[in-house]
């Protein structure tokens, strides 16, 4: 009954096999190997973007921070939602890698940035001459940290506002595959065709050992990204092992198959939570994350039985046993119906 996070699960066997194959013989280091070149061609085909460039790093924080640093000067501000990963979970890494750019938090509903909030935030900057930050890129998270998903119309509205002000748009796609399954569209439609300029294309939360792809749909900033990656200590010597994971991920649509399994497990869990006494879903689960409130006594019962998940802004200590406490449940590709059903039976 493992619902703590999708990065706690196992690596997909196809990816392990790919790593073993990549381990044979010798290969040039620092992304000069044949597999890395093949991966770039693969990404361009999947995203219908013949000019796109792909740079691999090991963590989502590195992908987000390096992409944003390549597009934001130290005197600019990056516009993001209040619950964005770059705001809540990256220990000021974007500020560090940009050399001092700040984050401006935009009004958010159900984990999604609102158009009115974005416009107001953008218009609120560059109003103090030299005394305030200049406008920088916009960062969207897809799927959001609350498990919701921007529709294509919502994406295009937000990117359209950014374009009015000449701002680039970054997408934190740590769970991009899960969002894509929910949307039922093509990768191109969900990114550059909807105004996205750069994508942190997640793999670690979707069955890979540890690799994220920083995709630039406009290659103009590619060289700067490479320099920042090296200077930031994120250029792998044995780069082929990063490329092997991502190559196996895309091969034959494995990434979509994995995300489909994770999303289906989430819906099974969400359906059971909806029917459970005292349970209250906080957001509409559209990808592989469910937020729900359960009585404190129920949480004690579930934890005692071995369930693994995170309480959200709450603790078991103190308070009445019937007090509803928020919790986050995340499913991954390896989640089994048997485990989910056991959890729901306990609930």
Query: What are the extents of the domains in the chain?
Result: 14-252, 255-346
Whether 14-252 and 255-346 share one fold: the answer is no
DSSP three-state, residue 29:
coil
Looking from the CA of 230 toward its CB, the CA atoms found within 13 Å total 8
Strand pairing class (324-330; 310-311): antiparallel
Looking from the CA of 142 toward its CB, the CA atoms found within 13 Å total 28
- What are the angstrom distances between the C-alpha of 153 and each of 120, 149, 179, 193? 20, 11, 14, 11
CATH class of 14-252: alpha beta
The answer for 186, left when phi > 0, alpha when psi is -120 to 50, beta otherwise, is beta
Each of the 347 residues of the chain gets a pLDDT tens digit; together they read 899 999 999 999 999 999 999 999 999 999 999 999 999 999 999 999 999 999 999 999 999 999 999 999 999 999 999 999 999 999 999 999 999 999 999 999 999 999 999 999 999 999 999 999 999 999 999 999 999 999 999 999 999 999 999 999 999 999 999 999 999 999 999 999 999 999 999 999 999 999 999 999 999 999 999 999 999 999 999 999 999 999 999 999 999 999 999 999 999 999 999 999 889 999 999 999 999 999 999 999 999 999 999 999 888 888 888 899 999 999 999 999 999 999 999 98
How far separated are the first and last CA of the chain, in Å rounded? 12
Contact between residue 293 and residue 282 where contact means Cβ atoms under 8 Å apart = yes
Q: Which residues lie closer than 8 Å to 143 by C-beta, 6 or more apart?
A: 149, 175, 176, 178, 179, 182, 286, 287, 288, 289
Task: Write down the pLDDT at residue 318.
Answer: 81
Q: Write out the H or E segment, with its range, that includes residue 256.
A: helix 254-275
CATH of domain 255-346: 3.90.1150.10
Phi, psi of 313 (to 5 degrees): 60, 40
**Token pair of 310 as six digits:** 């995170």
Task: Write down the pLDDT at residue 314.
Answer: 82
| Single pTM value for the model | 0.96
Distance in angstroms (rounded) separating the CA atoms of residues 115 and 145: 18
Task: Write down the pLDDT at residue 277.
Answer: 86
Task: Write down the pLDDT at residue 319.
Answer: 85
């Amino acid at each position: 009954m493992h619902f703590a996070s999708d990065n706690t699960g196992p690596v997909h066997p196809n990816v392990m096999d790919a790593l073993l194959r990549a381990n044979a013989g010798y290969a040039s280091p620092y992304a000069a190997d044949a597999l890395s070149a093949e991966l770039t061609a693969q990404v361009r085909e999947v995203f219908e973007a013949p000019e796109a460039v792909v740079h691999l790093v090991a963590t989502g924080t590195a992908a987000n921070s390096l992409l944003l640093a390549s597009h934001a000067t130290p005197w600019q501000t990056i516009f993001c939602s209040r619950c964005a990963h770059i705001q809540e979970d990256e220990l000021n890494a974007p500020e560090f890698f940009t050399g001092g750019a700040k984050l401006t938090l935009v009004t958010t509903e159900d984990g999604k940035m609102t158009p009115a909030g974005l416009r107001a935030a953008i218009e609120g900057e560059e109003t103090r001459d030299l005394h305030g930050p200049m406008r920088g890129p916009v960062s969207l998270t897809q799927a959001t940290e609350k498990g919701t998903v921007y529709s294509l119309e919502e994406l295009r509205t937000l990117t359209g506002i950014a374009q009015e002000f000449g701002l680039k748009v970054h997408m934190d796609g740590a769970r991009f595959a899960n969002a894509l399954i929910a949307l039922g569209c093509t990768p191109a439609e969900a990114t550059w065709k909807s105004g996205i300029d750069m994508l942190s294309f997640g793999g670690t939360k979707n069955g890979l050992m540890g690799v994220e792809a920083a995709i630039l749909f406009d290659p103009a900033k590619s060289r700067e990204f490479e320099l920042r990656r090296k200077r930031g200590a994120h250029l792998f010597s044995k780069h082929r092992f990063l490329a092997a994971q991502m190559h196996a991920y895309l091969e034959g649509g494995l990434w979509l198959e994995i995300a489909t399994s994770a999303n289906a497990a989430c819906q099974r869990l969400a359906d059971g939570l909806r029917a459970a006494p005292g349970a209250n879903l906080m957001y509409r689960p559209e990808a592989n994350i469910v937020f729900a409130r359960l009585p404190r006594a129920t949480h004690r019962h579930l934890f005692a039985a071995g369930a693994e998940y995170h309480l959200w802004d709450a603790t078991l200590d103190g308070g009445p046993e019937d007090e509803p406490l928020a919790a986050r449940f995340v499913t991954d590709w390896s989640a089994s119906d048997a485990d989910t059903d056991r959890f729901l039976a306990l609930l």
